[in-house]
Structure 1
Amino acid sequence: MNAIKRFGSAMIVPVLMFAFFGIVLGFATLFKNPTIMGSLADQHTFWFKFWSVIESGGWVIFTHMEVVFVVGLPLSLAKKAPGHAALAALMGYLMFNTFINAILTQWPHTFGANLEKGVENVPGLKSIAGIATLDTNILGGIIISAIITWIHNRYYSKRLPEMVGVFQGLTFVVTISFFVMLPLAAITCVIWPTVQHGIG
């Protein structure tokens, strides 16, 4: 029960930011509306361009929602060194998506995904941090973040032999994550399209 409460609290951390960015988008949309602002909201005015810039910033959390959850969860769930846990989770998530990209690139016909044409407006695919990958949505980010956080909590403080002591802590967590993310990416390539089809 305590673990569920901690997970719920961790989920709230990134969610609380949605309200602010939603307000930003609301104001930007309002001030770009010609019905309300008249000629001031013409596309060529400084006013319109200024609020377009503000609007682009307002979309940040919604465009990169997966990354926000990946980084945000360890900050509350890590038992020690939450900053290192967040960095490890980010690294793990990037490795996960990079492995998916590489697998789909090497075996496009096996998985029915051609990344050479890009991912824009292609159902089931998405660009995350510039990596063309499967669109696993927030669920994928949460699962990867939870796995990396578990690895962090279990192995971050593990003492290694002096000869390889430099790999202790964060580096050891990332090293383990590397070898965990590879098979996880392969499994995702196999099962996720079926999951997407079921959701669709």
Structure 2
Amino acid sequence: MHTGQKIKELRKLKLWTQAELVDRAKVSERTVRRLESSGTAESATLLSVLDALETNLSELDNIVSEDESIKKASTEKHTDVKFLHRIQSGRDLVRIISHAHQYGYDYHDCHTEEQTEVVQVFLTTVADVLDIWDIVEIGQRFDLENNLSKEIKHLEELGLWVFGDRQINKKDNWITAIVEIYSKENPLIQKVKLDKDLMRKNK
């Protein structure tokens, strides 16, 4: 993955459009398009873009693409497979993010500007709720859950599903809340069908 692709990955992680990067880096849109597609740019231009992204070439070298991560994971014999659960309500989401020490997120399959904007608002709201959850009163918590439910429903109307999980480091009980967004048509989504007889046996 060349420098331009890494810059694109980092821009997407920040939920920025190319236009936002252009505005922050004070370079032309054509320059950003060329840089992301070919990885080439003048030194001064590259530095402006890196400054806007709050990174440098050394940190950029450590960025690995999703495809490269998958290839690396597949070559490791003892790679743990982790599954995210679909989140359909604000209450489900709060169970994952409340009291977490860290928040990790990602989004996929955003093909329109509307999808990107709605995802950006949603992920920002999740971060805000995580920050204030411990200091708000019970009544306010219900309001926050309801607002999250509305935003999740809005995402679903745009064909996007929310997934999440809560990871706990056993050594220090450090909790990480993971929230990711995929298109409901994404082939990575596994639709699990439960055996009815098995469900009856477990009751």
* TM-score after normalising by structure 1: 0.24
- Structure that is richer in helix per residue: 1
* TM-score after normalising by structure 2: 0.24
